[in-house]
Amino acid sequence: MPPAKWFFWNRTEARLRAGWRLVIQFVFWIYAPAVLVLILGGNLANGLVSWLPDVYALASLLSEFALRLPAILVSIGLVVRFVDRRPFTDLGFHLTRQWWLDLSFGLVLGAFLMTLIFCVEWLAGWVTVTGLLWTAQIALPFPVALLGPLIIFVVIGLTEEVHARGYQLRNLAEGFCFPALGARGALIVGWLMSSALFGLLHVRNPNSTGFSTLALMGVGLFFGLGFILTGNLAISIGLHITWNFFQGSIFGFPVSGRYFGDVTLIAIQQSGPVLWTGGAFGPEAGLIGLFAILLGCAMIVGWVRWQYGAITLAGSLAVYKPHMPLMHPRQSSIVGNPSGEKS
């Protein structure tokens, strides 16, 4: 094969190499939602106001995220089908009964951990409750006002997990799957690298610091743990949704540096040492958040051991299987790329 073609094309797998697949998907991730919102956002917001006048203050936000969800899922679906050459289910959507059980566990886990963080800070005197059912200056009933952030966090949890874990982690693992590492070693590399990218993507968030970026890399490892142990995104998606939602819209903390306290079940005033609380960036950048993440990792490992009977890495996530019947990633015994060629 000519060197120029080899640089782009994996002959064994008959598709682009991993790095180029990641670049193409990232371009779609950035531009597909923006284009769809530009084309349809105004009309959707106006239609929403005509149907439900009370949501006037949230119409633009709701329409933006309502369009962001299909834009990202459809664009990733197209890349997966025509560039990756695999079914969308391979990103971690084997929708069995166990998948839904894992999703439920992830939802409960995120809510539990953020409730624990709030209780610790409140007992330490670092949080003062200043109001309940808080809607700031938004002239809407609380349940209606809460709909906006709920939609935001559901869309963020789903799309960021499909992007960072389902797509990036898997493709990075395939790209590093050569004999020296094996499939499980490549999966660990993909987990580490995708988590680093996850942290770097938040580097320009409000109140971001070097420490908060490192902390979000740890959050990325936490969110990805369920994926590399089960081969499915259910735990990761559920955990991401309620971790953010309870953090910002139930307990009024900043979420990765962004303030969501205008609509929150419990309005707070926070004090205490920034090293522990994370300050204006939120609990993710504090030591309390770190301890919660470590506890959460232990609980994920315990759940997987209970539900699946063993703790093993889903090594087949790092192995591309062209034109093969679908199988659950944990059922594969493949531990390396037989061809030895990097993806």
CA dist 283 to 89, 122, 236, 249, Å?
33, 13, 19, 14
Domain residue limits, the chain: 94-331
Tell me the sheet residues that pair with 16: 9
- How much is the pLDDT for 140? 75
Nearest 5 degrees, angle CA 334-CA 93-CA 292?
Answer: 90
- How much is the pLDDT for 261? 77
CA dist 230 to 140, 194, 213, 329, Å?
42, 17, 27, 7
List the chain pLDDT tens, one digit each, 343 residues: 666 677 888 888 888 888 999 999 999 999 998 899 898 888 888 887 787 676 666 777 778 888 889 999 999 999 999 999 999 999 999 999 999 999 999 999 999 999 999 999 999 999 999 989 888 766 778 888 888 889 889 999 999 999 999 999 999 999 998 888 888 999 999 999 999 999 998 888 888 898 999 999 999 999 999 999 999 999 999 999 999 999 999 999 999 988 887 889 999 998 999 999 999 999 999 999 999 999 999 999 999 999 999 999 999 899 988 754 444 555 443 444 434 445 5
Task: State pTM to two decimals.
Answer: 0.88
